[in-house]
Amino acid sequence: MLVTFVMGFACGLPLLLTITVLQAWMQDEGVDLAVIGLMALVGLPYTLKFFWAPFLDRFTLPFLGRRRGWLLVAQVALIFSIAGLGFTDPGEKPWMVAVAAFIVTFFSASQDIVVDAYRREDLVDEELGLGSSLYVNGYRVGMLLASGGGLILADSLPFSFVYLIMAACMLPGVLTTLLAPEPEINVETPRTLKEAVFDPLIDYFRRQEAFWILAFILFYKIGDTMASAMTIPFYMDIGFTKSQIGAVVKLFGFWATIAGSLIGGVIMLRLKINRSLWIFGFLQAVSTACFAILARVGSSVSVLSGVIAFENLSSGMGTAAFVAFMASITNKKFTATQYALLSSLMGVPRVLASAPTGFLAKYMGWEVFFITCALIAIPGLLLLFKFAPWHSKEMAAA
């Protein structure tokens, strides 16, 4: 469980360095809002990682084992690419920033592939709920350090220094990779690249509800993700300082997220995953709509604190259930490829659906934008009727 937590931290740290912190840097440099929104496209590796996941299932490096060898390579590459991103210039060469950020997201997505496979193979089915909760908590700690800590540091240090500090913060993940045991599995691993590429897909799509599950994963958090893509420009636009954003949105909101994921883990023990997805999905949509209230009130720290507490609480619960659900339906023989396929779809809203959010916010206004994001969450909830109605039994892993 400790390894799961630290690996979650290592996965969460790079994510917001190419979203939240980069958005603040570009906003400071006077980059157009529409261009900031389009920068979400640098996250494409998160949605396409299933293309190279079979290589990580099939091939084993000559050191540290099947999972930890690839994990060490990805983490060392992340340290250098994060540091390199800090030496770019958003004001003068935004497209060079995009290239550097794309490299960071590629190695970050590669790390995600291996960590997800490691967690699924290392934990028994009964531990997935708690393990997913701790993974999400570690992930949020990494996001907190990158975004909250990064924004606070950026008020007194150049962003280039901030990125160097964040690169060094990847070292605990490297140390954990070196010390953690290699997971043992009792199933045969792919013997050829063809098996690694095609057998996971054949295995998954034999399931009766395979396409409905994919649609659900695509739409379940789309509204929440689209809203989150523009929150930093939103906070700055209505009058909050970077220190207020870092302290309230990130530091204060962090504890609500921790509480949400832990509460989610406890609720899943009693209600199981399917019912939890219903409850948490509804709370996510309501919390997204609450940003419209903040848009009307303006730069009130107390209102901001209330909205952030509710949003992070519901998001923590929803993410814990979502991650546990995806892990529960993967086959351990093809863990990396199947989980990469599912989590890639989960990342589509963060990249493709988030790309036009700058245009939408610019022409709709903040209130209408956030209400629209809340309504977009409805299709994801309705899909639960198809494969996970309230009174259904839990879906077994393959």
Annotated domain spans of the chain: 2-182+189-387
For residues 195 and 275, give the distance between their C-alpha atoms in angstroms, rounded to a whole number. 35
pLDDT value of position 126:
67
pLDDT value of position 250:
65
What's the half-sphere exposure (Cβ side, CA atoms, 13 Å) at 73?
16
For residues 230 and 143, give the distance between their C-alpha atoms in angstroms, rounded to a whole number. 16
Q: In Å, how far are 61, 111, 112, 393 from 218, measured between CA atoms?
A: 33, 21, 18, 22
Q: Amino acid identity, residue 192?
A: T
pLDDT value of position 349:
61
User: Closest Cα partner for 45 from 395, 352, 358?
Assistant: 352
pLDDT value of position 397:
45
For residues 57 and 318, give the distance between their C-alpha atoms in angstroms, rounded to a whole number. 28
The CATH number of the structural domain formed by 2-182+189-387 is 1.20.1250.20
pLDDT value of position 111:
93
For residues 229 and 360, give the distance between their C-alpha atoms in angstroms, rounded to a whole number. 12
pLDDT value of position 298:
81
* Long-range Cβ contacts of 284-287 (<8 Å, 24+ apart): 284/221, 284/223, 284/224, 284/314, 284/315, 284/318, 284/377, 285/223, 285/224, 285/374, 285/375, 285/377, 285/378, 285/381, 286/310, 286/314, 286/374, 287/224, 287/311, 287/313, 287/314, 287/315
User: Which pLDDT tens digits describe the chain residue by residue (398 residues)?
Assistant: 788 889 989 998 998 888 878 878 887 777 777 777 777 788 788 878 888 888 887 788 888 888 888 999 999 999 999 999 888 887 777 778 888 889 999 999 999 889 888 888 887 766 777 777 788 888 878 888 888 788 888 888 888 888 999 999 999 999 999 998 888 777 677 777 777 778 887 887 887 777 888 888 878 878 888 888 788 888 888 888 777 787 777 677 777 777 887 777 777 777 777 788 888 888 888 888 888 898 888 878 888 888 888 888 888 788 778 887 887 777 777 777 877 777 776 666 666 677 777 888 888 888 898 899 889 888 888 888 877 777 665 544 44
